[in-house]
Chains A and B, each alone.
Chain A
């Protein structure tokens, strides 16, 4: 096997090893953090601070009966949970996690696919996630699932527009679709002499649009209409149980993680940290440190997800659509125009 192939496999393994930890840790955080916010204890019996609760949860999923509704469309019913993992298992390929590495006399890029259309590859693969929800809802042959699927398709398309326009605006200062260039531009420039030129300081409006659209794209509260449990039982995954249900969970949490990684890369300097020059280290250390910094930023976003979930009530469906089309979309266009004008006039 060639060196390039081995490098790519090593980098993918590195990413996957970290990504797969997101679900169990988030299962625990999602129980303990709201308990903290609501002044109660939360699960604290299994292991230190109840940390092994996640393992108990996984055990429950594994040993539950694998149930299948008799009227379901079998092939698509079985396919849908697997599709839930497609976006999160592929989009990380274009995310950079460090500077160029010098290992054993070879230069290795800290990104699996170094493409000049990187961020579009990310968005394209992320946009396939909606099929999992839609097919799960349709193939289950259940009215609640169906309602969830219809909601999911309309919601995800509506918010994808605002999200994509926010991303486009975030790319303008760097002048490249390659996320590594975007990180380098944020790292090198300074705003007003002291602020790092992070996207969030350059275009706070764009970041706000991206953040809201990000919550809607991952179907998290306050936008979890496709699985609104008070109206639709569990929405698109009503008819799923055991590990198939767990696949949807994994997909949801890992999608949150990769979208958080994109947010960190576009608006918070990605793997870079102001005042820390990673290139002073040799070997694979800059890659490991960069990955650590990136994941620290991802972790903050993941906590924000939990925080928001237990703070805001769910939107009504018409409010959701109005917010997406009449507020976020115009705002993202305004943001794009403003950023473009600023860049052309040389102020950024």
Chain B
């Protein structure tokens, strides 16, 4: 039963993630990404962490991807034309990326079969309490630093938006 559910979610995640990169319409790509994230959230539940699943759905599909859709719709981006003129930089970048990914995946597979596997994620570790314990003790400094980084990004974004508006005002005044 658990295997069957895993296969359903895993296949959904794989197929939809291929659609994300292969589809020419940005709206459909974004929606496929929504499906991918929902399927991965399902996998998190199978791993015994409904909290992570809920957070993933709440933050990624509920907020970030809605903003993606918002921007795509606001700019009214149309279907991407078949790009015959792909720059060589893109091709080489994709090749290097593929090699790195293949290496990382084979390393993971290798490690999974080796004897000295990292301890499996126990229920107490992936539960809400476990995540909170780790986050506010062992990883407190990185956690706070990420918070600071995000605050910085928000402040800078606000500053840039304000400056652009001020410049536009000056131009219209002239």
Contact = CB atoms under 8 A, between A and B. Distances in A.
Interface stretch (B3-11, B51-59, B93-101): B51-59
A156 B55 contact: no
B150 interface: no
A228 interface: no
Contacts of B66: 130-131, 134, 153, 156-157
A117 B27 contact: no
Contacts of B74: 150
Max count, chain A CB within 10 A of own CB: residue among B50, B53, B61: B50
B147 interface: no
Interface string A157-174: 100100010000000000
A123 interface: yes
Interface residues of A, number: 27
Interface in A301-334: none
Contact of B50 (A117, A123, A164): A117
Nearest to B69: A134
B84 to A, nearest CB: 26
B165 to A, nearest CB: 14
Given A131-B34, A138-B27, A149-B73, A120 B63 contact: no
A177 B69 CA distance: 30
B136 interface: no
A116 B127 contact: yes
Interface of B is mostly: helix
Interface string A133-157: 0110110000000100110011011
A127 interface: yes
Contacts of A203: none
B67 interface: yes
B137 to A, nearest CB: 18
Contacts of B58: 120, 123-124, 127, 164
Contact of B73 (A116, A123, A150, A164): A150
Nearest to A120: B54
B110 interface: no
A117 B41 CA distance: 14
Contact of B57 (A115, A128, A150, A156): A128
Contacts, number: 73
B129 to A, nearest CB: 8
Interface in B63-83: 63, 66-67, 69-70, 73-74
Given A128-B62, A130-B62, A160-B62, A117 B70 contact: no
B140 interface: no
Nearest to B62: A127
Given A117-B54, A127-B62, A160-B63, A153 B70 contact: yes
Nearest to A125: B57
A27 interface: no
A127 B50 contact: no
Nearest to A135: B31
24 contacts: A76-B27, A116-B129, A117-B50, A117-B128, A123-B58, A124-B55, A124-B56, A124-B58, A125-B57, A127-B61, A127-B62, A127-B63, A130-B62, A131-B34, A134-B69, A134-B70, A149-B73, A150-B73, A153-B67, A153-B69, A156-B66, A157-B63, A157-B66, A177-B128
Given A128-B57, A146-B73, 13 more contacts: A115-B50, A116-B128, A117-B50, A120-B51, A121-B53, A124-B55, A124-B56, A131-B66, A153-B66, A153-B70, A156-B66, A160-B62, A160-B63
Interface of A: 76, 115-117, 120-121, 123-125, 127-128, 130-131, 134-135, 137-138, 146, 149-150, 153-154, 156-157, 160, 164, 177
Interface of B: 27, 31, 34, 41, 50-51, 53-58, 61-63, 66-67, 69-70, 73-74, 127-129
The 3 tightest CB contacts between A and B, nearest first, are: A127-B62, A124-B57, A117-B51
